[in-house]
Structure 1
Amino acid sequence: MLIGAGIVGAVIDGIGFWGVMITGIAGAAAAYVLMRYPDMPMPTTESLRISDLETLAGKTEIWLEAQQPLLPAPAVKIMQDIGVRLDQLAPQLSTLNEGDPAAREVRKLVGEHLPELINGYKRIPAHLKQQDNKGKTPEEQLVNGLKLIDREIETVTGQIARGELDKLAIRDRYLELKYDGAGQE
């Protein structure tokens, strides 16, 4: 927009006061429209269950960010760690087939267990969240569950990466045998 105003000003020897004002108003209107549309829908627990693998990590991360104001501070810290792990996992998910055991595990963990844990905590009345329940408060149970999920996401990420590392080692060994061995003859 500003570039267009600059070009018009150069062609007609300046755009003047009203040209500057109109450019500013048009810029503000464009910014307003761009901020309002398109409005991205917030993922729901149901949409997480049925998301394809490529978008599952991203949608889960958006959903987690929306849940943060409703959860205690220790849980929020762990959820941020889970968000980082999901960022690391996302590129690997695009390499998996829906039927792979690792894909099923990720879908169950991220699309079902994680939302169920958080939604279960949110359904507990506020006055009961601090009360001891079988040795732990609901907050402690939530934090413990999130830690377990965080560790499991790390484990699954490592398993998927190990498969790629093994493939890379095999390719490297093949190239060594084929080309390094050929140069020695």
Structure 2
Amino acid sequence: MLAGEARRLIGQHLPRLVDSYLDLPASARVPTSESSERFTESLGIVAKELDELLDQCCRDRHDGFETHHRFIETRYRDDDSFGEG
């Protein structure tokens, strides 16, 4: 799910945003124009979303690690049969 969302954002949505901005007349793309300000704002939104996706990915991996840790701990910590046979 996260990989798909990242692919869409990076591979589709961001390029479409850039292309649509570049399709504007040069006069609409001057640094102080409303279009440039909106473009900058949109890039900030994209950056925030990428940060959130990365955070979620890290949390998911950490949660997976914690699940494995708890399994090993409950399975082997005080298991008297460990080492027998």
| Shorter-chain TM-score range | 0.7 to 0.9
Match of 2:83?
A: none
Query: Given the alignment, which residue of 13, 17, 20 partners 1:113?
Result: 13
Deviations 1:100-150 (A, max 9, x none): x22321121111111011111111122122475xxxx11111111111111
If asked which structure has higher relative contact order (CA below 8 Å, sep 6+), I would say 2
TM-score computed with the length of structure 2 as normaliser: 0.78
Write the distance in 2 (CA, Å) between the matches of 1:114 and 1:120: 10
Whether 1:124 and 2:21 are equivalent positions in the alignment is no
Bigger radius of gyration: 1
Matches within 5 A, 1:52-71: none
Query: Given the alignment, which residue of 143, 148, 151 partners 2:45?
Result: 148
Letter in 2 for 1:172: H
Match of 2:78?
A: 181
Matches within 5 A, 1:40-55: none
- Structure 1: give runs of 5+ residues left out of the alignment: 1-100
Letter in 2 for 1:170: T
Write the distance in 1 (CA, Å) between the matches of 2:76 and 2:8: 44
Whether 1:102 and 2:8 are equivalent positions in the alignment is no
Number of residue equivalences = 79
Root-mean-square deviation over aligned CA pairs: 1.8
TM-score computed with the length of structure 1 as normaliser: 0.39
Q: Kindly, what percent of the aligned residue pairs are identical?
A: 27
Write the distance in 2 (CA, Å) between the matches of 1:118 and 1:149: 12
- Structure 2: give runs of 5+ residues left out of the alignment: 81-85
